[in-house]
Amino acid sequence: MEYTTLPGTDMRVSRIALGTWAIGGWMWGGTDEKTSVQTIHAALEEGINLIDTAPVYGFGRSEEIVGKALHEYNNRRNIFISTKACLAWDDRGVFRDATRGRIKKDLEDSLRRLQTDYIDIYFVHWPDSQVPAEETAEAMKELFYEGKIRAVGVSNYSSDQMAEFEKFSPLHLSQLPYNLFERGIEAAETAYCRDRNIALMAYGVLCRGLLSGVMRSDRVFAGDDLRNHDPKFQGDRFRQYLAAAEKLAELARDRYNRGLLPMAVRWVLDQGAEIAVWGARRPEQITPVRDAVGWVIGDYGRRQIRKILNQTITDPVGPEFMAPAVREA
């Protein structure tokens, strides 16, 4: 495993984090607690020491499972938890709420579900245009200086939004969607993080499974699976992305003797992200992690990847469909 020390802290975390959105079940067709706990333990055994979760992942279920798994593993001091605040939900759905009161409530609920008395990395899950940046940032800063959280992060913030947040609070990490198929943050956000010494934590590195190496055109997504609503998985676009994945898999095999999945993760790490979030919900999905570390893609590989993407994807689309609603004023 590769490790990095987070800027402004003494936390040395694995460059691959375990993502637990799917473990929560919501928008992923359900969950199985026993298998999920085994998956978390398998990740820890592979050297992954950073677990990323959020209250909205299964409406508390993911955090509860992570808490159970870490309690059973019994090594909390050497394991780092990343979770989030500022998404609320009711009968109408999920919406943003970055008020001071929501942040404090979310923290207490997360501490209880995770069976811990501090959070290592705490993110504002989505920016909230209905709340002044000062209110949100000041609330996060207070938690940091109180020792309830060890690092302050923002998620899905633009470079301008990060700059405004930094006027009122330290900022250690930024979590953003980034993968071979979704590269919108390269326009401004990656440069901002680099220039400000903010650790970039990339999520969605496998693009909802499109870069897993096992996605097929006849795949059926059950129940509330978010891919039923993802434009990448519809019609001609789906065929384009599958064609790209097939070509990328050939490159990974012929050039690096690896699968597409570890090459996709390696690409994110080589592009400057300090951490790549690897989502899994079965123990066997952890095994390829060892093929993603200890090497680099190199200039030739990057050129070939750009060539493949330019040749196969003529109608690209980003991850914007995942954005939650803004509260009504």
Instruction: Please identify which of the residues 57, 122, 178, 241 carries the catalytic annotation.
Output: 57
CB atoms within 10 A of CB 184: 14
| 73 is a catalytic site residue | no
Q: Do the beta carbons of residue 174 and residue 162 sit within 8 Å?
A: yes
In the 3-class helix/strand/coil scheme, how is the chain assigned residue by residue? CCEEECCCCCCEEECEEEECHHHHCCCCCCCCHHHHHHHHHHHHHCCCCEEECCCCCCCCHHHHHHHHHHHHHCCHHHCEEEEEECEEEECCEEEECCCHHHHHHHHHHHHHHHCCCCECEEEECCCCCCCCHHHHHHHHHHHHHHCCECCEEEECCCHHHHHHHCCCCCCCEEEEECECCECHHHHCHHHHHHHHCCEEEEECCCHHHCCCCCCCCCCCCCCCCHHHCCHHHCHHHHHHHHHHHHHHHHHHHHHHCCCHHHHHHHHHHHCCCCEEEEECCCHHHCHHHHHHCCCCCHHHHHHHHHHHHHHHCCCCCCCHHHCCECCCC
Bridge partners, 278 (sequence order): 18
Instruction: Report the C-alpha gap between 30 and 74 in whole angstroms.
Output: 27
- Can you read off the two tokens belonging to residue 308? 């493949």
- Can you read off the two tokens belonging to residue 40? 């978390």
Show which residues are catalytic: 57
